[in-house]
Amino acid sequence: MRDCVVGLSFLKVLMGGVVVMGSSVRVVVGGLVAGLVVMSVLAGFLWVSLSDLRVKYGVLSAKYSGLEEKYSGLSSKYSELLAKHEGLVSNYTALKSKYAGLTTSYSKLSEEHEALLRNYTSLKGAYSALKARYAELNSTYVKLMAKHKELTAKYEELKAEFNTLSRTYSSLLSNYTGLRNAYLSLKSEYGELQGKYSSLSDEYSALQTRYGDLLNAVEVLMNVTGERAGLINSFKPNFIDWESSLVVKAVKSVNFNAYSDPYEAILKWIVKHIYYNSDTPEVVVTSPNATYEWVTDYYQYASETLREGYGDCEDQAILTAAMVEAYWSMEYGDTYLLWVAETVVTYEGVKYGHDFLIIPFQGGEIAILDPALDIYVPPTNTLTALQEYEELSGIHITYVYGVFSPWRYYYVGASTLNEFAQWLDTH
């Protein structure tokens, strides 16, 4: 159809062109021939289109026949479904009526079920409580039965004791009269004793006061004698009273120009002015109940040694320490570290307690001053100085208890010369 329309449009244009060109016969004849040709072409086109339409018509007719058969089948099924629908509608109406009745019955049954459930829950709780109570009562019953048996046995035991006590009571009752008379007599004596007790109580209070005063006095005496005997290590630094006027005066009297070393000058001054004298045995109170012991070593302040003019090794070592500290204070305006060493030495096979002074210097050197033995070891290596001191004195250091300066006491506990040298180098 589309090809036919195109052909007609072309013919129309061609014919219009022929008319426009004129009325020439030749032209007209040519136009007719051309029109015939075009008409032939168009006829061919129309024949092809018609054949195509016939084919399409046959296909559509076949499809129509198939659809018609399907329609007949569907129409038959529709009739059947319509009949079934009407039956289902009838059944639905009946079932709806039954459902309404069942709904009503279900509501009533549901209410009854809720009521029964509440009753069941209540009864279950009551049952659990009764069950627990039963268990409790049963346990109590078992305990009471056991207690009953125990009490029964105890009763029999008490009954036997009662019979014994009854007999004893009878015996005691017979003795009561005699005891009552004795009681009256004792009561009279008690009055007299009460008066005596009051008097003794007053005396005891007075004695207790006096005992407290005596105890305090003994404690003071313990401290004083303990300090003097060197039993209280923390007090020993106090004996180096380098600020004492007597110590300062002694240092000022030293002829330092006569020696190249000021420490040797101080040592020689002490050797010259202070003579060695062993301490007189003294009593030391060692406990509050007045227990005492005799000691042969007694510590003196440096100022006391100067005032008395004598002292043993620790007294002279303490004096040396005080004079060295006073010298430093006057010469340099400051004080420095030094040690009074407390040692045990062996001389000719006998052990002695012995004290001497050690002055540490920078660079790990020390000087040793021992006025009691008139020995001075100038500054040198620590171990070397100690060995030289032993060689000059002829003694052997077997143990070092401790050392003290004017400010503090240190426990050393060195049992060899090497241990003591190591302690000095590390402090």
Report yes or no on 146 lying in a domain. Answer: yes
Examine the fold and report which residue of 169, 184, 217 is the final residue of a domain before the chain moves on.
169
Which DSSP state fits 296? S
Domain assignment of residue 287, given as a range: 229-426
Say whether pLDDT at 7 is over 80: no
Kindly report the CATH number assigned to the domain that includes residue 366: 3.10.620
DSSP 355-382: EEEEEEETTTEEEEEETTTTEEEEEEEH
154 and 254 part of one domain = no
pLDDT of residue 155: 84
Question: Residues 386-389: contacts with CB within 8 Å, 24+ apart?
Answer: 386/417, 386/420, 386/421, 387/417, 389/356
Report yes or no on 198 lying in a domain. Answer: no
12 and 127 part of one domain = yes
Weakest mean pLDDT among 1-10, 138-147, 252-261, 345-354 = 1-10
Global pTM? Answer: 0.52
Examine the fold and report which residue of 151, 169, 187 is the final residue of a domain before the chain moves on.
169
151 and 251 part of one domain = no
Weakest mean pLDDT among 60-64, 109-113, 280-284 = 280-284
Query: Given pLDDT bands bounded at 50, 70 and 90, which one contains residue 417?
Result: very high
27 and 163 part of one domain = yes
161 and 310 part of one domain = no
Burial code (b: 16+ CB inside 10 Å, e: under 16) for 95-114 equals eeeeeeeeeeeeeeeeeeee
The 3-state DSSP class for residue 181 equals helix
Cβ-proximal residues to 406 (8 Å cutoff; 6+ apart), any chain: 237, 240, 242, 321, 322, 325, 335
Residue at 75: amino acid letter: S
pLDDT of residue 314: 96
96 and 243 part of one domain = no
Report yes or no on 340 lying in a domain. Answer: yes
Cβ-proximal residues to 379 (8 Å cutoff; 6+ apart), any chain: 359, 361, 365, 366, 367, 385
Each residue of 302-343: pLDDT tens digit? 999 999 999 999 999 999 999 999 999 999 999 999 999 999
Weakest mean pLDDT among 145-149, 327-331, 418-422 = 145-149
More confident residue, 279 or 261: 261
Q: What whole-number distance in Å separates Cα of residue 309 and Cα of residue 246?
A: 12
122 and 267 part of one domain = no
Report yes or no on 45 lying in a domain. Answer: yes
316 and 419 part of one domain = yes
24 and 156 part of one domain = yes
Say whether pLDDT at 379 is over 90: yes
Q: What whole-number distance in Å separates Cα of residue 373 and Cα of residue 406?
A: 23
Q: What whole-number distance in Å separates Cα of residue 374 and Cα of residue 273?
A: 12
384 and 274 part of one domain = yes
Examine the fold and report which residue of 169, 186, 207 is the final residue of a domain before the chain moves on.
169
Say whether pLDDT at 13 is over 50: no
Q: Which residues pair with 366 in a beta bridge?
A: 360, 380
45 and 125 part of one domain = yes
> Half-sphere exposure of 216 toward its Cβ, with a 13 Å CA cutoff?
5
What phi, psi does 403 have (nearest 5°)?
A: -140, 155
Report yes or no on 200 lying in a domain. Answer: no
Report yes or no on 332 lying in a domain. Answer: yes
Say whether pLDDT at 284 is over 70: no
Report yes or no on 310 lying in a domain. Answer: yes
- Please count the structural domains in the chain: 2
- The pair of three-digit structure tokens given for residue 308, joined into one six-digit string: 């008395």
Q: What whole-number distance in Å separates Cα of residue 277 and Cα of residue 267?
A: 17
Cβ-proximal residues to 329 (8 Å cutoff; 6+ apart), any chain: 242, 243, 335
Say whether pLDDT at 8 is over 70: no
Q: Say which residue the tokens 């052990």 belong to.
A: 351
136 and 249 part of one domain = no
Report yes or no on 361 lying in a domain. Answer: yes
